[in-house]
Amino acid sequence: MSTPSLNTEEETESLDSEISTIRAELQTLHHRRRILTNSLLTSRPLQRLAKSQSQSQSQSQSPSQTTATAPRSSQKWTDLSPLLHTSALHADLNHYRIAFSTTAFPFTDPSPSPVPSEANKSLIGLRIDICARDGSYVKPYYILLRKGRRGGEDGVLYVHRHTVPPVVDVGALERVYLPRAGGDAARGEEGEGGEQLKPWKRSPTKKQNLKGFLREVRRQLVVWHVRCDGVRYLRERLGIVRRGEGQDADADEENGVWERDVLAEEPNQESKIARNDLGIVALGATALEAVYVRVEWVDGRVGRFKISNAGLVERAVVMGDTGRDKLMEAVMTGGNGRLETLLDRWRKHASELRGSAAAAAAAAPVSVGDGIGIYCSVTNQANKCP
Amino acid sequence: MARSKAIRAPTTASLSSNLRIPSSTPSLVKTFGKLTRQALLDLVFQWLEDGNVQHFPPYLQANEGSKRGEEGDGDGLRPYPAERTINGVRNAYQELQFRKGGKREVIDRILEGDWRHGITLRQLAMVDLRYMDDHPSSLRWTALELARIDNSSSNESFACIPRVHASTFLSSLQQQISPLVKAHYHLARSTSLPLTVLRVFVTTSPYQNAPRQSAESLTDSSRTIYVAFPDSCPFFYTSMASPQTASKASSALPNSLVATDVRSLQRLVRDAIPKALSLPHQRYTVKPTSLIAKSLEALLALRGPGRSNHANGAFSIFADAALEGSPLDPRPSNTVSPEEHNRQSASEATLENRRASKRSLADSKEPGTSKKRTLALQSRFGTSGTLSSVPLDRLDVRLLDALPGDAKPTEHAQQPTVSLAFAGTDVIGGIRKLAELGVIDAERMPCWMTGEEGVSVLAVREGRGVSKAGR
């Protein structure tokens, strides 16, 4: 009695899974077809042809139709033209988004206001597109500005809604670049009681600087993405082992601990750095903003370095059991200082150490290269300190 | 207890993690009973891991028997004879793992068998946090914002997110609290959400181990405060009463009263957090954010590290990036469904696919929704309730508008205020459902009904939320 029901259950399960895989395949094929049709529609020869056709059509329509084929072909083009038109518009928009990175669009606030006026409902939308390391674009960031009519002033802009993560403090930037005289108190976001009590302390009305505001927001977003990409790049070059993936993970259990990577796609996936020649067991950003990166070596040394907005290793501290490892710090901040070449500097340093050790073993009295290395690092340190 | 002979003196040290609560305490059974059998077994295996076992030593026959021979005699009468080695203990629980049965036998084995000498405060904290991981909506959380006190140095770009070093933070928190209350701290990482959870257990006695302080009071859940720190954002969540009610209670109490009730103990802890996070020249204060919710997911969406803090309701299309795809997408954006836009970036197809197809099936089944209404719904609610769900369990609204017939708005004393309170598992989702059914006119309802403000407590004037200051 129980076995047939089990069998049918198994059967239905296998059928279900089969159906779902077929559905998924269908979906991907549909997706591909749509991508291909749309790329075809936006392709330059077709667009040019359409343009020339519509021109020739308008020319050919003024005289009487002479050939029998003309109406049929024109019929075809009018059928196609709305599609062609929208895809051409979309392609234009995409070109703008790629080229200028920050684009504006109108948006109407759907919520009804008690005082019906079109000016109050329309918002200025701003879109920031940022290209990631692999050439794809991240989800666009949006800022929606509203034109305020508060305190008797017209045309004062303020941020109504935005999708910028708190890594970039839009509120603070707004206070700097889009100051509102009197509007602050009415909006009441940051209007403290002190400002009301001491009106003479209020700074004189500054002009709003929308361009500066946007430039700064975009700059900070781009810098944040560059830092994140840099840390991800370093981790990838060292090699990442994800928990639950691959059988050899259990083999080198002693090499490092499973850690959560803050910048990973799935935040709860635990991973660790694969065994490498540099003896690094952990490398990862300390927080989502990816300003500080923590490094851990197999011999127990722990380091932390700061990534500057320009993508340089700005400061580095390495602590070992016997105190600070200044030489390693100098290696990290030295050279061209780029985050991307950090591993190469470490490798070079390791090979130098090995070379000097070999030289010492060969009973050379003083290793020249080593001395120069230390000297260089000291000068670097001196340069960086102020 | 065995340590009653020791000299007791009031100290400012924190309660030790190794402080044991007698296993015979009845409330322990209740605390452990909240967890499922598998969760209990997972915890036990965690305690018995090589790195942890010295913190949670089980009762073993070999070492205990040599010290106290007279207790070894009683072992035969116990239902669970003590194991000789830690591996023996592990094997016993492995056996329980493979066998099916109730959780009661696991609890009995823990309390009467392997940890018969007492459950430490740390073990108790782990049990509580495991329960919270399994039931993320078991507590009511208040979201608070950390803000810099001095605005002068706002030119530093990433100033508003304090960096937390766990042990430094805990020691400075302990410095803040210890003159006032004695507490036990447990800091752990949530397994399911990007949160770090601090569990603070407060007692009023300054003694490390007061005999009068009964074992029951050490398991009193009302003395436990949870503080959750989401990653990389200037917010934190506390499991305490909302700041408004707390401040009311504190103002009602005269200052001379000794603060021993649970609420003022909680207030002490909450006030200590920004001070503990502060650094020299970088002081923080706490601002209320008028958001109280049970679901931690909702808090993370509305006051978290992501994109959706300031874009909800109609604007959730921007937060989910459902409006348009990447600039490399050749498809015109009005021909692509929001789910597809979202999925393409999430890059995991199958699960989302199935959910999406189910949803579209469910949508098409409903005959009552006209196309116009669907459009209005989409424009008002955006993707909230479909793509991203932010389940608010309560929404309190105070309407400050004068009644339409009221001709004299100057008489403030006469002006009635209407307060509305919505409660349920998902208030905004419910309103969306009502609008779908046509009970609510989606086009004319005010924006706070769509969850656009992202708060759970707000005052409304002219259809728009105004700040709590009453202006």
Q: Of B462, B454, B308, which Cα lies nearest the Cα of B388?
A: B308
Residues 131-190 of A with CB under 8 A from B: 136-142, 144, 159, 161-170, 172, 175-176, 185-186, 188-189
Q: What is the distance between the alpha carbons of residues B111 and B149, in angstroms, rounded to a whole number?
A: 49
- Residue A18 pLDDT > 90, yes or no? yes
Which pLDDT belongs to residue A205?
A: 60
Contact B231/A110, CB-based, under 8 Å?
A: no
- The pLDDT tens digits of the residues spanning A57-69 come to 666 554 444 444 4
Distance CA B467, CA B471 (A): 7
Lowest-pLDDT choice from A140-149, A365-374, B52-61: A365-374
What percentage of chain B has pLDDT greater than the value 90? 0
Between residues A366 and B276, the one the model is more confident about: B276
Asked if the model's pLDDT at residue A42 lies above 70, the reply is: yes
pLDDT at A385: 37
Q: What pLDDT is stored for residue B399 in this prediction? A: 83
**A115 pLDDT above the threshold of 70:** no
Q: Is B359 helix (H, G, I), strand (E, B) or coil?
A: helix
Q: Is the pLDDT of residue B384 over 70?
A: yes
CB contact under 8 A, B231 and A287: yes
Sort out which chain B residues have CB atoms less than 8 A from A168's CB and list them. Answer: 157
> How do residues B84-108 score in pLDDT, each as one tens digit?
788 888 888 888 888 877 788 888 8
Number of residues in chain B: 471
CA angle, A105 as apex, A100 and A107 as ends, to 5°?
160
Strongest mean pLDDT among A76-90, B275-289, B334-348: B275-289
Model pTM score: 0.78
pLDDT: which is higher, B91 or A243:
B91
Mean pLDDT of B438-464: 81
> How many inter-chain contacts (A to B, CB under 8 Å) are there?
165
A239 Cα to chain B: minimum distance (Å):
22
Question: What is the model's pLDDT at position B247?
Answer: 42
The confidence score (pLDDT) of residue A142 equals 92
Distance CA B209, CA B201 (A): 14
The least confident of A153-162, A254-263, A288-297, B274-283 is A254-263
What confidence tier does B365 reach under pLDDT thresholds 50, 70, 90?
A: very low
Backbone angles phi, psi at A28, to 5 degrees: -65, -35
Tell me if A191 sits within 8 A of A185, measured CB to CB. Answer: yes
Instruction: Please tell me whether residue B290 adopts helix, strand or coil conformation.
Output: strand
**How far apart are alpha carbons A330 and A291 in whole angstroms?**
19
How far, rounded to the nearest angstrom, does the alpha carbon of residue A252 sit from its chain's CA centroid? 33
Q: In sequence order, what are the beta bridge partners of B282?
A: B279
* Residue of higher predicted confidence among A323 and B182: A323
Q: What is the model's pLDDT at position A29?
A: 93
Residue type, A83: L
How confident is the model at residue B447, as a pLDDT? 82
Contact A87 B330 (CB under 8 A): yes
Residue in A332, A352, A330 with CA at minimum distance from that of residue A340: A332
Residue count (chain A): 386
Residue of B nearest to A37 (CA): B331
- Report d(CA B303, CA B271) in Å as an integer: 20
Q: What is the rounded CA–CA span in Å between residue B308 and residue A170?
A: 13
Which range (A335-344, B92-101, B144-153, B427-436) has the least confidence?
Answer: B144-153
CA separation for the pair A349, A10 (Å, rounded): 60
Distance separating alpha carbons of residues A316 and B76, to the nearest angstrom:
61
Mean pLDDT of chain B: 73
3-state secondary structure of B198: strand
Position A65 scores a pLDDT of 44
Q: How confident is residue B255, by pLDDT bands cut at 50, 70 and 90?
A: very low
Give how far the C-alpha of residue B128 lies from the chain's centroid of Cα atoms, to the nearest Å: 12
pLDDT digits (tens, 9 = 90+) for B127-142: 888 888 888 788 888 8
DSSP string, A319-381: EETTEE-HHHHHHHH-TT-BSTTHHHHHHHHHHHHHHHHHHHHTT-SS-HHHHHHHHHHHHHH
Asked if B158 and A137 come within 8 Å (Cβ–Cβ), the reply is: no
Taking the C-alpha atoms of residue A313 and residue A343, their distance in angstroms, rounded to an integer, is: 12
pLDDT, chain A, mean? 75
Which domains can be identified in chain B, with CATH numbers? 23-117 (no CATH), 136-302 (no CATH), 308-466 (3.10.20.720)
Q: Where are the beta strands (DSSP E) in chain A?
A: 102-108, 122-128, 141-148, 156-162, 240-242, 259-260, 270-273, 280-285, 292-297, 302-307, 313-320, 323-324
Closest by alpha carbon to A211, among A104, A310, A138? A104
- What Å distances lie between residue B273 and B166, B178, B226, B283, B286, CA to CA? 12, 13, 12, 11, 9
- More confidently predicted of A79 and B80: B80
Give the mean model confidence (pLDDT) for residues A116-137: 80
Top pLDDT among B339 and A378 is at B339
> What distances in angstroms separate CA B373 from CA A108, B230, B361, B381, one per listed residue?
18, 38, 18, 12
Report which listed range, A43-47, A195-199, B140-144, B261-265, is most confident.
Answer: B140-144
Least trusted range by pLDDT, from A260-269, B89-98, B182-191:
A260-269
pLDDT of the residue at B258: 45
Partners of A90 on chain B (C-beta within 8 Å) are 330-333
Chain A residues touching B231 at Cβ < 8 A: 262, 267, 287-288
Record the tokens describing residue A20, joined without a space.
């779902």
Mean predicted confidence (pLDDT) in A290-314: 88
* A contact test, residue of B144, B152, B157, B353 with most A CBs within 10 A: B157
Minimal CA–CA distance to B112: which of B208, B45, B1, B32?
A: B32
- The answer to whether residue B309 scores a pLDDT higher than 90 is no
**Angle formed by the axes of helices A170-177 and A210-238, nearest 10°:** 150
The interface predicted TM-score of the complex, written ipTM, equals 0.77
Q: Is the minimum CB–CB distance between A196 and chain B shorter than 8 Å? A: no
Q: Give the model's confidence band at A185: pLDDT under 50 very low, under 70 low, under 90 confident, else very high.
A: very low
Residue B73: pLDDT band with limits 50, 70, 90: very low
Cβ atoms B240, B142 nearer than 8 A: yes
* Arithmetic mean of pLDDT, A304-314: 88
Region B264-293: mean pLDDT is 82
The lowest-confidence range among A283-287, B49-53, B466-470 is B466-470
Query: CA geometry: angle at B276 spanning B271 and B281, to 5°?
Result: 110
Provide the pLDDT confidence category of residue A22 given band limits of 50, 70 and 90: very high
pLDDT class of B413 with cuts at 50, 70, 90: low
Please count the other Cβ atoms lying within 10 Å of the Cβ belonging to residue A213: 21
Higher pLDDT residue, A118 or A330?
A330
C-beta separation of B65 from B72 below 8 A: yes
